[in-house]
Amino acid sequence: MKFALHFANITLPDPEDAKRLALAAEAAGFESLITIEHVVWPWQYDSTYPYGASGKLPWTAETPLPDPLIWMAYLAGITQRLRFITGVMILPQRNPLVLA
């Protein structure tokens, strides 16, 4: 059975923290890391965020949001066996020749 770790480049924007997590995941036998892409966060909103006790997003509009492709390339250069997956990638905002 293969296991993946959902790795949020949002909550680990520091390269050294991401490196430690990727190496630990690889050492623990995970097959892949999954990361996401979002372009903007709202400054304010009225709806309730369903995935936290406070009902608010755990990040703000100022939270750093590294590009997932650059993030995965960085971690691929550090690890030996991990595979990388984008859980969310906003294709219309990307140059199709870059993604090809």
Tens of pLDDT, residues 34-56: 988 877 777 788 889 898 899 88
Residue from 57, 34, 63, 37 nearest 45 by CA: 57
What total of structural domains would you count in the chain?
Answer: 1
Q: How far is CA 81 from CA 1, 20, 23, 57, 66, in A?
A: 15, 15, 10, 33, 22
pLDDT tens track for 51-91: 889 988 887 777 777 888 888 999 999 999 999 998 888 88
**Global model pTM greater than 0.85:** no
Range of the structural domain that residue 48 is part of: 4-99
